[in-house]
Amino acid sequence: MTRREFPAKVTDAAYVRCGGHCESCSAPLRPGKIEYDHILSDGLGGEPTLDNCQVLCTACHSLKTHHSDRPKMAKADRSRKKHFGKRQSSHPIPGSKASGLRKRMDGTVEPRQPHRSR
């Protein structure tokens, strides 16, 4: 999925709405320190519309991104992978069926034989 940026009409309307102040901390916005943020992250299905746009200072945008948006997107990715049966770890638990090894009662370890259907 590609990132969808806000159109110029949306950013202009959002800036007029905010009145030159950060919509999170109310600090005055300075040129070069203005960020247009998706309220509902683009990665989670947020649309590039005026209702989903907020004008933030650089500090508030960074804080929101690192402490709110990224963890939510990472959790969504983990849930999606779990739903489709893809595991995160490539290191199976020793002795499990996924490891490919079998430990006998006498302590010896041998390769697990593939299961044959009858």
| 94 has a pLDDT exceeding 80 | no
CA 43 – CA 74 distance, rounded (Å): 10
Q: Convert the pLDDT of each residue in 37-91 to its tens digit.
A: 999 998 888 999 999 999 999 999 999 999 999 999 999 988 888 888 766 566 7
The residue type found at 70 is R
What per-residue confidence (pLDDT) applies to 88? 56
Indicate whether 3 belongs to any domain: yes
What per-residue confidence (pLDDT) applies to 9? 96
Indicate whether 56 belongs to any domain: yes
pLDDT band at 21 (very low <50, low <70, confident <90, very high): very high
Indicate whether 2 belongs to any domain: yes
CA atoms within 13 A on the CB side of 74: 8
DSSP 66: I
Mean pLDDT of the chain: 87
**Beta-strand (E) ranges in 1-118?**
34-38, 53-57, 101-103, 109-111
Looking up residue 20, the CATH number of its domain turns out to be 1.10.30.50
The CA-atom distances, in angstroms, between 116 and each of 2, 67, 95, 110, 113 are 45, 50, 20, 17, 9
Please tell me the total count of domains within the chain: 1
Domain of 32 in residue numbering reads as 1-76
More confident residue, 3 or 33: 33
| 97 has a pLDDT exceeding 70 | yes
DSSP 98: G
Indicate whether 111 belongs to any domain: no
